[in-house]
């Protein structure tokens, strides 16, 4: 590039007195050939301020036969100059036809304009009575430009002076001009977000009002902030910063408000900071702008700064916050905006483990799992962020102290281009989502929960259907996708066991999430959707295991604690409590748990809880009886009086199928007595209203005559002879077994020896 365009003021304030009578234009705009001729062309010599901006539609373009220059005037118009250059001898490049530069009018009657230098977009506002129209022009590498967007804004700017944003230096000393011009800025995000940020004049001392128009969502939010220090601040104008996933409203020395662009509906996802927390390092309390994403320009000193959200500051704020809204906002900001590292995730898990009882309006385990999954999965596929859940909260009715918020529905912008790519394609997708009821697009677990409950009650015969076989095939695929748990991760003694209920839930989640994505992402293809769903459920299980692994390290537990010969430690009790909260979070979201979770949870419960509490937890579904844990419990504990009571209490609560296997684990009269009673009960239930009409068969005499027992066994034998056999596959359970079990238990209770 050998061209330079410059616009400047011709004289200083001190020279104004001596030049009042001279007919000299205040502003001069020049086009200069830097090398080799230093030819100068006057583009404008006017009283009004003029800004110039070269177009750079192609990055790293070294040579070009044509350059394009925007000229933006305070007279409310924008022109484009087309400057043709030619190469001469000795590699010189000069302007062709300097006296006749082609020009075209780009925009008229504007009151505000902003240049997006990265994406080569021109935003401008045309006032129309009480409402204004925001327009956008996109410049392309092929040297063409198109009007791309038009949006109606409920902003009155008829009495405002024109303001230029990102068109070079603004004189921050001219506070009178700044106060009369429109403080407004447009921000875009990579995900197709389009926000208009505008500060409004407030008649009340000590209050600041500003509005954010989330054009890609179809609503706006107007915030009124009561300043902590109501004395007149050094700056009365709110500065807006573009942080891609967030926009920030910043008033130095007063507050920093981070607003979530992707999920602006609930205020608890926006972070409102005051005092020392609201300080941006290295920035003085002066006028600033955000010309680029994550960039701040100090207008007074002329310095440019890169701005990012500090993960260490977020973690510190998370740990020190006393309000649920602040904790939730910091948690989401860390996971979704900072794109958390393994180290940050570990620190968040430790914080969650220590603060499970301090969060009242949300479950931190649920939010950590859902937000982490959302962050991991959504970058892989376009529009996936509109289909996967990002929070466990359906609504939030809390308030942010010192901040009043009003929400208004606004008209959606109209896109004037078709078959667009990049940002415009994503914005169009966001607008379509709003038109077709976006809340219904996000995956919900209502149907999953209902289906799981129905299938959990199916009989063995119905479990063999093709539908259920497919469900369990889904579960096997998920388990095969789990991360390999190496020796370090095996610190948590999770048993690789089959858990019918959890595998059923895994398979159902895969099936229903796949159906949900297929309805909205057909263009992605079935194979890709299958992979997304399997990765999602596998990552979910890995996150639960990750939490447990960090908790195990936190409390310095060992992998060999799964035994029952001694009571649990205080650390084990704390881990048991955390596992109970994980289970509660899983039940609330209807999500599966890793294989062996319930076995480990029950094992810790046996070690840590008194018997009556343990049984209460089992009866209320907090602890789930698993074959692995029951078998180990019955085998490892000896049969003293205390252990017999524990074992019998467990055996009596076993499901029928597992109860039949328990006799193999525990050969004891108490267990035999339970099975005998169960057998008798089932005999009479199956008998129903039948009458005993057959004669009593001859039976082998029993060693002890006990007339009530003899009568009972005769009745049972008659029922058996009528073809009633509850345990047809269990040949060892019959009337003879009932008789012997009753005698053994009776003799044991009487303290007599049975032979």
DSSP conformational letter for 307: -
3-state helix, strand, coil in the chain (%, to 5): 40, 20, 40
E strand or H helix at 43: strand 40-46
- Tell me: the pLDDT tens digits for 438-459? 556 888 888 888 888 888 876 5
In 261-328, the DSSP E strands lie at 271-274, 288-289, 295-298, 303-306
CA max distance for the chain: 138
DSSP conformational letter for 151: E
- Tell me: the pLDDT tens digits for 721-743? 666 666 655 556 777 777 777 77
| Residue range 544-567: mean pLDDT, rounded | 83
Whether the Cβ atoms of residue 558 and residue 568 lie closer than 8 Å to each other: no
- Which pLDDT score, from 0 to 100, does residue 13 have? 56
Q: Which tops the pLDDT comparison, 487 or 193? A: 193
Across the chain, mean pLDDT equals 81
- Which pLDDT score, from 0 to 100, does residue 586 have? 95
Q: Which tops the pLDDT comparison, 34 or 685? A: 34
Q: Which tops the pLDDT comparison, 62 or 652? A: 652
Tokens 């603060």 sit on residue: 355
Contacts 24+ apart (CB under 8 A), 180-187: 181/112, 182/111, 182/112, 182/125, 182/155, 182/157, 183/237, 183/238, 184/112, 184/125, 184/155, 185/114, 185/240, 185/289, 185/290, 186/114, 186/116, 186/123, 186/134, 187/240, 187/242, 187/247, 187/261, 187/290
- Tell me: the pLDDT tens digits for 45-85? 888 888 999 988 666 555 567 788 999 998 899 999 988 87
| Residue range 493-502: mean pLDDT, rounded | 77
Distance between CA 588 and CA 445 in Å, rounded? 10
- Tell me: the pLDDT tens digits for 579-636? 999 999 999 999 999 988 999 999 999 999 999 999 999 999 899 998 888 888 888 8
Does residue 553 sit in helix, strand or coil? helix
Distance between CA 625 and CA 621 in Å, rounded? 9
Tokens 């049984």 sit on residue: 615
Does residue 173 sit in helix, strand or coil? coil
pLDDT at residue 498 above 80?
Answer: no
**Domain chopping of the chain, boundaries:** 1-108, 446-624, 670-750
- Tell me: the pLDDT tens digits for 198-214? 987 777 888 899 999 99
- Tell me: the pLDDT tens digits for 157-191? 665 678 889 987 665 444 444 556 678 999 999 88
Distance between CA 136 and CA 143 in Å, rounded? 16
- Which pLDDT score, from 0 to 100, does residue 483 have? 64
Q: Which tops the pLDDT comparison, 120 or 237? A: 120
Find residue 92's DSSP bridge partners: 88
- Using pLDDT thresholds of 50, 70 and 90, give the confidence band for residue 707: low
Distance between CA 594 and CA 590 in Å, rounded? 13
């Amino acid at each position: 590039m050998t061209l330079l365009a410059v616009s400047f003021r011709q004289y200083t304030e001190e020279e104004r007195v001596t030049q009042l009578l001279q007919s000299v234009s205040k502003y001069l705009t020049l086009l200069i050939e830097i090398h080799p001729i230093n030819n100068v062309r006057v583009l404008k010599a006017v009283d009004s301020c003029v800004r110039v901006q070269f177009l750079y539609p192609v990055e790293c373009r070294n040579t070009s036969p044509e350059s394009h220059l925007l000229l933006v005037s305070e007279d409310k118009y924008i022109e484009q100059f087309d400057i043709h250059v030619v190469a001469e001898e000795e590699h010189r490049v000069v302007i062709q036809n300097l006296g006749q530069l082609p020009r075209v009018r780009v925009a008229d009657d504007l009151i505000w304009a902003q240049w997006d230098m990265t994406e080569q977009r021109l935003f401008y506002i045309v006032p129309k009575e009480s409402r204004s129209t925001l327009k956008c022009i996109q410049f392309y590498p092929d040297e063409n430009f198109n009007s791309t967007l038009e949006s109606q804004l409920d902003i009155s700017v008829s009495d405002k002076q024109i303001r230029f944003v990102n068109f070079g230096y603004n004189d921050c000393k001219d506070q009178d001009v700044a106060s009369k011009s429109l403080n407004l800025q447009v921000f875009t995000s990579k995900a197709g977000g389009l926000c208009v940020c505008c500060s409004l004049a407030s008649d009340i001392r000590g209050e600041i009002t500003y509005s954010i128009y989330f054009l890609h969502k179809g609503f706006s939010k107007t915030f009124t902030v009561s300043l902590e220090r109501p004395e007149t601040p050094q700056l009365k104008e709110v500065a807006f910063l573009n942080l891609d996933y967030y926009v920030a409203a910043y008033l130095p020395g007063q507050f920093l408000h981070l607003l979530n662009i992707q999920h602006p509906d609930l205020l608890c996802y926006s972070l409102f900071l005051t005092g020392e927390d609201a300080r941006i390092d290295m920035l003085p309390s002066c006028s600033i702008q955000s010309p680029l994403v994550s960039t701040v320009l100090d207008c007074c000193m002329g310095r440019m700064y890169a701005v990012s959200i500090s993960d260490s500051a977020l973690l510190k704020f998370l740990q020190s916050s006393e309000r649920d809204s602040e904790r939730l906002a910091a948690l989401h900001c860390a996971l979704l905006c900072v794109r958390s590292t393994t180290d940050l995730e570990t620190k968040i898990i430790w914080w969650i483990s220590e603060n499970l009882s301090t969060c009242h309006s949300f479950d931190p385990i649920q939010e950590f799992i859902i937000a982490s999954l959302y962050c991991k999965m959504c970058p892989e596929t376009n529009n996936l962020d509109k289909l996967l859940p990002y929070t466990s909260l359906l609504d939030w009715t809390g308030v942010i102290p010192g901040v009043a918020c009003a929400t208004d529905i606004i008209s959606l912008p109209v896109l004037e281009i078709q078959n667009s790519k990049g940002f415009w394609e994503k914005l169009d997708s966001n607008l379509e989502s709003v038109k077709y009821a976006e809340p219904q697009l996000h995956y919900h677990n209502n149907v999953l929960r209902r289906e799981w409950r129905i299938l959990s009650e199916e009989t063995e015969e119905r479990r063999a259907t093709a539908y259920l076989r497919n469900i369990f095939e889904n579960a096997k695929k998920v388990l095969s996708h789990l991360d390999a748990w190496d020796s370090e991760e095996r610190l948590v003694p999770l048993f690789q066991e089959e858990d019918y209920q959890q595998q059923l839930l895994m398979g159902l989640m895969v099936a229903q999430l796949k159906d949900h994505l297929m309805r909205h992402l057909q263009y992605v293809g079935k194979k890709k959707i299958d992979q997304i769903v399997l990765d999602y459920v596998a990552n979910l299980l890995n996150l639960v295991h990750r939490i447990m692994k960090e908790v195990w390290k936190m409390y310095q537990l060992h992998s060999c604690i799964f035994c029952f010969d001694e009571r649990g430690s205080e650390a084990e009790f704390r881990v048991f409590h955390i596992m109970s909260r994980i289970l509660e979070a899983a039940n609330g979201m209807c999500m599966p748990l890793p294989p062996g979770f319930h076995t480990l949870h029950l094992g810790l419960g046996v070690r840590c809880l008194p018997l009556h509490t343990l049984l209460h937890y089992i009866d209320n579904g907090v602890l789930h009886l698993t074959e692995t844990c029951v078998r180990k419990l019955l085998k490892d504990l000896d049969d003293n009086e205390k252990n017999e009571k524990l074992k019998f209490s467990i055996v009596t609560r076993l499901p029928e199928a597992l109860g039949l296997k328990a006799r193999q684990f525990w050969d004891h009269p108490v267990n035999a007595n339970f099975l005998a009673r169960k057998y008798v009960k089932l005999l009479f239930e199956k008998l129903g209203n039948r009458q005993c009409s057959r004669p009593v068969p001859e039976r082998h005499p029993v060693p002890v005559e006990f007339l009530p027992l003899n009568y009972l066994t005769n009745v049972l034998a008659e029922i058996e002879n009528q073809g009633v056999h509850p345990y047809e596959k269990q040949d060892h359970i019959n009337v003879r077994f009932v008789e012997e079990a009753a005698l053994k238990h009776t003799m044991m209770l009487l303290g007599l020896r049975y032979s």
